Amino acid sequence: MSTTSKLPELFGSKVFNEDTMKARLSSISYKAWKACVTAGETLTPAIADEIAESMKQWAVEQGVTHFTHWFQPMTGVTAEKHDSFINPVGGGKIIMEFSGSELVRGEPDASSFPSGGLRATFEARGYTAWDPTSFAFIKDGSLCIPTVFCSYSGEALDKKTPLLRSMSEVSRQALRILKLFGDTDAKRVTAQVGPEQEYFLIAKEDYAKRPDLRFTGRTLFGAKPPKGQELEDHYFGAIRPRVTSFMKDLDEALWELGVLSKTKHNEVAPAQHEMAPIYSDANTSCDHNQLTMEIMKKVADKHNLVCLLHEKPFAGVNGSGKHDNWSLGTDTGENLFRPGSTPSQNARFLLFLAAFLKGVDEYQDFLRATVAFAGNDHRLGAQEAPPAVISVFLGDELNAVMESIIHGTEYTDTGKRTLEIGVDVLPAIPQDNTDRNRTSPMAFTGNKFEFRMLGSSQSISGPNITLNTMMAEELSQFADILESSTDFQKDLAALIKKTFTDHQRIVFNGNGYDDAWMVEAAKRGLYNLKTTADALPVYIADKNVDLFVKHGIYTHGEVHARYEIHVEQFVTVISIEATTMIDMIGREILPAVSACATDMCERADSKTAMGVSCRYETATATKMGELTDALMDACTKLEADMAAMPADATEAMRYCQDVIIPDMAAARAATDAMEVMCSGDYWPYPSYSDMLFYV
């Protein structure tokens, strides 16, 4: 099939989307589903049965035999359990059946998903329940039903439930504000998200030869290649045929699933690429990003490639992140972060902006913690991704508007043209806020904020839950004040001015990679949580727990469970890396360098017997001997330190950071130094040059 001519038909062809529902369901059922999605009304069992039957018919027509509840446990990836539609009807025959109760509720054996102690083992059942706001789709011959995942007593065990909760809470609070501005048309405010996904592609045969890549997703060893990303010839460069063909198949697979894959290009590092979809509501975006990561790996495999989603597969070249573009939009089509053309729209914009700045300032520590995990520690603050300090970039013009409000001065733009002063005291805002500052962790980009600290492998759920919830909190505070105001214009202006003044410290428009900023940020009292071990403890700080409990996003127990899961994940990742390292050093690296050094010695002997100079062999063998000793010592220390890992999870996290990670760095340094001395015949692994410049 020629994709171009059939693209509109291809798009969403594997999705039981609204159009399909409209066409296939009775009008009563369709309307009931619509009311469920837009107004949160519950579906009756009869309606659920009809939807299930219709979904099954549609799927069976496409050759589908199984269905699965598709959910997002705390592992950060998706999980599925497949059941076939078959039901025996006697006489050795079956019919294909799928009931409303199977659609709405499932019961996977959930005992092996991380639950942070929320689900006692005696009731190790988790329940999955259909999320009717996200469309069912067909993947690998199964009908996949997006579901939430919770415990017997209703505690969220997944990344979708709290996201949905946060989306309805921010909507509720934002509507209160809109009402104050006289907007009663809007019935819903939606958190909108567009995640840009970075990834690496390498050859499958190289991947197969590297236990570190297979077990940890990143190279634990590897000398820097003679050429890295210095020439910057890869970024936006012409895409090579093998990658083009991968991207074409990826697009098609994503389009079939209704993912709005839009942009593709090469990234900064060699072998690194990016895909960005068109934004959608945060829930769909999160589902789609999970699907995208999965499909990227599958499509790569078909092309004899491996897609690496780790944040830092290769030391010395840029790692991969995920930019989370976030905004709030109404169901009447308005973006609440777009400066408007009327004074009232501008005032509303400034109020939402003020709420955002206040939220980021007050919950900067938690936002930082949502991107804290082992893989991301390699990027943040390493001059390739934003620093670990959170600040907001507004751009020169918006910054000048904020300054003028704080100081009560008249705002003039760069051309010294005085702009119209709206609602008595608030200035009109220039529309063109296209400043680009790639070093900011949170940049205003015209009508949205771009949160740039996420790691490439990460679920986008956590950061978006946090953005939604902090925004809900600030908007609720503002609504409390303004709803009881007797002079709206005056109180509004005063509130905006006070909020900008109190939270100006979070705004930074300069170079985030500059050391001077770290000094300045410390003076401003901003958090600088450099590593996961520094950042995760803020997860359970009282003010943060209070925020989520107050808005019904997490219970007290759910936040603590999440904290425990993240801590354990960190310790597990570092432990697997350390164990893999020990294994590779013991089994392959030390034997290889020993053989190489022995060969050098034998050659030196033969040369000496013939009276030939052997300075190269002697020098190399001597140096290798020293490095081998150093590596053996480093490995012995790493092993001993691993054996002394504290039992308490929080202590173990600190210990991994302070003891295990430096041990691993020492082992790596000795190994990388030997790699460049050892001939390729001996070295057991494909080199960085092989991997980065092959595809």
Binding site for ligand ADP (CB under 6 A): 192-194, 196, 276-279, 325-327, 335, 447-448, 450
Binding mask of the shown chain, residues 431 to 470, with x at each position contacting Mg ion by CB under 5 A? ----------------------------------------
Minimum Å gap between C-beta 393 and ligand ADP is 12
Q: What residue number has its CB nearest to Mg ion?
A: 323
Nearer to Mg ion, 161 or 261 (CB): 261
**Closer by beta carbon to Mg ion, 274 or else 362:** 274
Cβ-proximal residues to 18 (8 Å cutoff; 6+ apart), any chain: 135
Of 544, 612, 533, the C-alpha closest to 567 is: 533
Per partner kind, with CB cut-offs from 5 to 8 A, the member of ligand ADP, Mg ion, none near residue 387 is none
Nearer to ligand ADP, 142 or 437 (CB): 437
> Quick one: 411 or 449, whose CB is closer to Mg ion?
449
For 79, residues 6+ apart whose C-beta sits below 8 A from its C-beta are: 70, 71, 72, 73, 108, 113, 149
State how far the Cα of 687 lies from the Cα of 675, in Å rounded to an integer. 9
Query: In the bound complex, what is the minimum distance in angstroms from residue 691's beta carbon to ligand ADP?
Result: 27
How many C-beta atoms lie closer than 10 Å to residue 689's C-beta? 16
Judged by beta carbon distances under 5 to 8 A according to partner kind, the member of ligand ADP, Mg ion, none in contact with residue 120 is none
Q: Which does 335 bind (CB under 5 to 8 A by kind): Mg ion, ligand ADP, none?
A: ligand ADP
- Judged by CB under 5 A, the stretch of 209-217, 297-305, 318-326, 502-510 that binds Mg ion is 318-326
Q: Closest approach of Cβ 340 to ligand ADP, in Å?
A: 14
Indicate the residue among 198 and 577 with the shorter CB distance to ligand ADP: 198
Partner in contact with 200, chosen from Mg ion, ligand ADP, none, beta carbon below 5 to 8 Å by kind: none
Question: 110 vs 454, which CB is nearer to Mg ion?
Answer: 454
Residue carrying the six token digits 């432990």: 575
Which stretch in 229-237, 317-325, 421-429, 591-599 sits in contact with Mg ion by CB under 5 A? Answer: 317-325
- Which residues sit opposite 145 in a β-bridge? 69
Q: How far is the CB of 450 from Mg ion (least distance, A)?
A: 5
Closer residue to ligand ADP (CB): 325 or 580:
325
Select the span of 34-42, 315-323, 551-559, 604-612 touching Mg ion (CB under 5 A).
Answer: 315-323
The distance of closest approach from Cβ of residue 323 to Mg ion in the complex, given in angstroms and rounded to an integer, is 4
Amino acid at 232: E
276 binds, among ligand ADP, Mg ion, none (CB under 5 to 8 A by kind): ligand ADP
Answer whether 123's CB lies under 8 Å from 105's CB.
no
Q: For residues 322 and 497, which CB has a smaller minimum distance to ligand ADP in the complex? A: 322
Residue (327 or 671) nearer to ligand ADP, CB: 327
CB 549 within 8 A of CB 180: no
Distance CA 422, CA 488 (A): 14
* Secondary structure (DSSP) of 164-187: HHHHHHHHHHHHHHHHHTT--S--
What is the spatial distance between Cα 433 and Cα 443, in angstroms, rounded to a whole number? 11
Number of residues binding to Mg ion, judged by CB under 5 A = 1
Residue with tokens 């009311």: 35
State in angstroms the smallest separation of the CB of 445 from Mg ion.
7
The CA distances from residue 256 to 134, 138, 139, 250, 654, in Å, are 15, 9, 10, 10, 45
**Least spacing, CB of residue 328 vs ligand ADP, in Å:** 8
Beta carbon of residue 467, minimum distance to Mg ion (angstroms, whole number): 16
- Distances, alpha carbon 559 to alpha carbons 343, 390, 462, in Å: 41, 22, 12
365 touches 538 (CB < 8 A): yes
Tokens 């092959």 belong to residue: 694
**Interatomic CA distance for residues 499 and 355, integer angstroms:** 8
Nearer to Mg ion by Cβ, of 323 and 368: the residue is 323
- Per the CB < 8 A criterion, the answer to whether 94 and 78 are in contact is no
Amino acid symbol at 47 = I
- Choose from Mg ion, ligand ADP, none: what does 266 bind? Cβ within 5-8 Å by kind: none
**Which partner from the list Mg ion, ligand ADP, none does 257 bind, CB cut-off 5 to 8 Å by kind?**
none
Residues with Cβ within 8 Å of 55's Cβ and at least 6 positions away in sequence, in order, are 16, 98, 103, 136, 143, 145
**Residue placing its CB nearer to ligand ADP in the complex, 197 or 671:** 197
Residue list 322-341, contact with Mg ion (CB under 5 A) = 323
Identify which of residues 58 and 449 has a Cβ nearer to Mg ion in the complex.
Answer: 449
Instruction: Report, in Å, the least distance between residue 438 CB and Mg ion.
Output: 8
Task: Please report how close the Cβ of residue 687 comes to ligand ADP at its closest, in angstroms.
Answer: 33
- What is the rounded distance in angstroms from the CA atom of residue 416 to the CA atom of residue 512? 28
Q: Give a three-class secondary structure readout of 389-434.
A: CCCEECCHHHHHHHHHHHHCCCCECCCCCECCEECCCEECCCCCCC
Please report how close the Cβ of residue 376 comes to Mg ion at its closest, in angstroms.
17
Q: Which does 194 bind (CB under 5 to 8 A by kind): ligand ADP, Mg ion, none?
A: ligand ADP
Separation of alpha carbons 164 and 158, rounded Å: 11
Which residue's CB comes closest to ligand ADP? 194
Name the site residues for Mg ion (rule: CB under 5 A): 323
